[in-house]
Chain A
């Protein structure tokens, strides 16, 4: 079973994503901030990471550069409410940049694509 790390600080959204992605047949592990996400990545075993950008403490962009320093092979999806970070070149390091939507179809398609490679 493919294992996904979801970094999201909003409780309702974490629950929603977890349920929906579990329903797609993935194992989903939650992290509410960048620090605990990094701990989890260090311990290994993830096939894909989905992260928000604005979070308390370290933001998603810093998280991505830390992960890049550790493991370059795990695909990363940015899933955020903000359009504006698309201009930040650090977000180009991610494999996809999605804007949060109540339909998770786009997210699910992206995950399928990235995990198929």
Chain B
């Protein structure tokens, strides 16, 4: 027998331990988009929902350098609001995903009002007289505060904001770093915070600390990748642009500093003109590449486009003495793409293929309906093939095996395919030629 189960259980058996319930709520976050706010909201939901620990309200602080800043608040602001929210949330059949969704809305509804107040809750963690709640995270301790209004160790601004005598401070930390803090309370029901509540809340705090840490690391990695790409770009610019610039400068210097006869003057000017044209071309191609923007995907018939590419004068000139053979499938399904970008991507690949194919050699273009989902177009050259090193780097920006190549062509092809919901596969071996297989989403003719 085969029995399917839902990946995310909508409701839990009330008998199972709360720890499992919490984990299941937090597991929801794996199905959320990877955003810090979303993930933290899930944790706040786990802390405050009746199905979770059931605190009335939660305030979230995030660290920013030496500062600890209040950034999010979840919960009703008054008993009336609480009544409305909790009635809503306890309606039968409401799953965790719906509760998270509801809370997301609640937070964005409350935030404009709360923002000015939250902004006043900012602490310097280096401050020697640091008070609670911030002192808890500095000391890396979970702290239960009771009788807050008469305790000088509690910050007055915070008390004015929460208006509550009993609250629990949950530090969000990793081994070495302070990530933030969550403060929870039962301001509406006035239920005392039990040691069982604290046990469960500490589990949420551990996960939240980890979340923030991971998200921040991820951001850092993205930035580093960007910097690395910038570095490559700088190297590229210094090479591609420097050669023409040095030529222009050098020949101009000759004109300025050395006596030249008419003929030499003219020659220098011609070279300068040529090199400037070259520079313009580089800039045009770069900006063209950076501007890829496919507004709308349309079903297109790729067959006539493929045939037309073969007849383009630039391709024909390159194909002299070589053979381009095209084979098309029997059926007549369409592909989703932008016709202009489709043609350019294909021309790019065909141009490369012809470059490496020796005289008398053959370039194959083969379109194929692989299944209902994909149409593939394969371009295979009879060139020398690529070694592993080149294969690995072939899609990195500014990598080219051609001296005059910008190293943007294949990246362009890949970006076009990705924008169309497709992908590119490459196979190559030294001595065996290179094969590019483009996957396009298939559409049946006449289908909407």
Residues of A that sit less than 8 Å from B by CB: 9-10, 12-13, 15-16, 19-20, 23, 54-56, 81-84, 100-104
Which of B238, B245, B402 is within 8 Å of A102, CB to CB? B245
Q: Is B402 touching A101 in the complex (CB atoms < 8 A)?
A: no
Which of A54, A56, A103 is within 8 Å of B249, CB to CB? A103
Contact with A along B227-253 (1 / 0, CB 8 A): 000000001001100111111111111
The answer to the question of B343 belonging to the interface, with a C-beta cut-off of 8 Å to chain A, is no
Q: Is A82 touching B235 in the complex (CB atoms < 8 A)?
A: yes
Q: Is A100 touching B235 in the complex (CB atoms < 8 A)?
A: no
Q: Is B250 touching A20 in the complex (CB atoms < 8 A)?
A: yes
Given A54-B239, A81-B238; A102-B246 close (CB under 8 Å): yes
Residue of A nearest to B274 (CB): A12
Residues of B that sit less than 8 Å from A by CB: 235, 238-239, 242-254, 258, 271, 274-275, 402-403
Which of A12, A81, A101, A103 is within 8 Å of B239, CB to CB? A81
Residue of B nearest to A101 (CB): B246
Residue of B nearest to A8 (CB): B243
Complex interface: chain A residues within 8 A of B250 (CB): 13, 16, 20, 102, 104
Q: Name 19 interchain pairs, CB-CB below 8 A, sorted by A.
A: A10-B243, A12-B243, A12-B244, A12-B247, A12-B271, A15-B271, A19-B254, A20-B250, A20-B254, A54-B403, A56-B403, A81-B242, A81-B246, A82-B239, A83-B238, A101-B246, A102-B245, A102-B246, A102-B250
Q: Is A13 touching B246 in the complex (CB atoms < 8 A)?
A: yes
Residue of B nearest to A56 (CB): B403
Residue of A nearest to B275 (CB): A12
Given A12-B271, A100-B243, A102-B253; A84-B235 close (CB under 8 Å): yes
Complex interface: chain A residues within 8 A of B238 (CB): 81-83
Q: Is A102 touching B248 in the complex (CB atoms < 8 A)?
A: yes
- Cα of A56 to Cα of B242 in the assembled complex, Å: 17
Residue of A nearest to B267 (CB): A15
- Cα of A15 to Cα of B235 in the assembled complex, Å: 24
Complex interface: chain B residues within 8 A of A13 (CB): 243, 246-247, 250
Complex interface: chain A residues within 8 A of B243 (CB): 10, 12-13, 81, 100
Given A81-B243, A82-B235; A9-B403 close (CB under 8 Å): yes
Complex interface: chain A residues within 8 A of B247 (CB): 10, 12-13, 16
Residue of B nearest to A55 (CB): B403
Q: How far is the CB of B227 from chain A (nearest CB, A)?
A: 15
Complex interface: chain B residues within 8 A of A101 (CB): 246, 249
Complex interface: chain B residues within 8 A of A16 (CB): 246-247, 250-251, 254
Complex interface: chain B residues within 8 A of A83 (CB): 235, 238
Complex interface: chain B residues within 8 A of A20 (CB): 250, 254
Which of B249, B250, B275 counts the most A-chain CB atoms under 10 A from its CB? B250
Q: A16-B254, A81-B242, A100-B242 are in contact. List 8 more A-B contacts (CB 8 A).
A: A12-B271, A13-B247, A13-B250, A19-B254, A23-B258, A54-B239, A81-B246, A83-B238
